[in-house]
Amino acid sequence: QQQQQPLSPASAVRQWGHLLAPFEQCEMLSFEQVWFVGKPTETGGAELNHGYDDSRGDYITVPGDHIAFRYEIIGGLGRGSFGQASLGVLRCQDHAIGQAVALKIIRNKKRFQKQAAVEASILAVLREQDPDDSVNIVRTYSSFTFRQAKLGHLCITFELLSINLYEYIKACNFQGSSLVMIRRVAQQVVATLRFLFRLNIVHCDLKPENILLRERGKTTVKVIDFGSSCYVDQRLWLRSRPMQVILGLPYGPPIDMWSLGCILAELLTGQPIFPAGEDEKEQLACIMELLGPPPRSLLETAPRANLFFDSGTWAPLACPPNSRGKTHRPSSRLSYPPTFLQRCLHWEPQQRMTPEEALQHPWI
């Protein structure tokens, strides 16, 4: 089933057609080369996309099966943007180049395909603008559509990296990391953000899970998952609810600097600096508990401020205890030390450091 050199589709059908479903035999003829066939699989009688999709539009993956008659599915690597099962990331063997890759396969639904197409185009620009692979962004190899019934599944292949920073924090028993390691991560991610800033691209979903170590035991990292990214003049619906989105304010590159501050704080302490709230009101209360209330000048321009603040005094509305009985009360002053992190965690976006300013900061 594995070939040193590819077969023509006609030759592959003659040699391996007995392993394929009738749909696959016809499908194979649309490919220029066949590198891998895989083991026979049952489609389970499902009606969606010739039985290859589940009811949600996710592709049903089976270890040992093929993707596009080139990639052998080894197993899963995790889930990316758009929710629990909207897209999967697979570990695959690319038989054309003889190495393991990560393969993201997008849900067969219009909304997810549309945003994934934006991601693929941004990744192509990033690769073109970084030919030397020097700005710590995951390397993409290819993108293509597979099983094209109606929309099909957009697939993007990437270099295979190591664990993400959340897994690293977990491996440290949530006790925090050394300042040497944190500074090394900061230097690399700020360089990435400077590169994105110059291209007018906003990542929009920076978090520990989206920064991966290149190798175990090393401190070199790469930024992944541009599934929520956009250009500065675009606005997309964000599944995550950062402060600016909760208040209804426009967002841009400063949103990534805020996220960087949160990531570095979590690396330092082993815990999220702003625990995830059960709703938007509690999320804002968690932020105010540390940073104090936002300035009035910001609230006066925020379309959704009246949901969380008194429209006359701009005082925070009371946040009831959550399901665990925890109550968050705004601090009257900034309780975080005036460091690199504070320059990232300003309420007002224009007061945050730019990536260029961050690279000039004495700590960096």
- Residues annotated as catalytic (active site), given as ranges: 205
Q: Which residues contact 300 (CB under 8 A, 6 or more apart)?
A: 314
Is there a binding annotation on residue 104?
A: yes
Q: Do β-strands 66-67 and 71-79 pair in parallel, antiparallel, or remain unpaired?
A: antiparallel
**Sign of the C-alpha dihedral, residues 238, 239, 240, 242?**
positive
3-state class (DSSP) for residue 131:
coil
CA pair distance 277, 246, nearest whole angstrom: 12
Whether the Cβ atoms of residue 81 and residue 225 lie closer than 8 Å to each other = yes
- 185: number of CA atoms within 13 Å, CB side? 29
Q: Which residues contact 86 (CB under 8 A, 6 or more apart)?
A: 56, 58, 79, 106, 107, 109, 112
CA pair distance 28, 17, nearest whole angstrom: 10
Query: How far are the Cα atoms of 17, 84, 229, 362 from residue 239, in angstroms, in the given order?
Result: 43, 12, 12, 34
Q: Taking Cα atoms as reference points, which of 265, 250, 271, 275 lies closest to residue 350?
A: 250
Q: Residue 181 CA to chain centroid, in angstroms?
A: 22
State the DSSP string of 32-83.
Answer: S-EEE-------TT--GGGGTB-TTS-B---TT-EETTTEEEEEEEEE-TTS
Whether the Cβ atoms of residue 216 and residue 162 lie closer than 8 Å to each other = yes
CA pair distance 249, 238, nearest whole angstrom: 13
Q: What is the DSSP letter of 235?
A: -
Q: Which residues pair with 99 in a beta bridge?
A: 94
Binding residues for ATP are 104
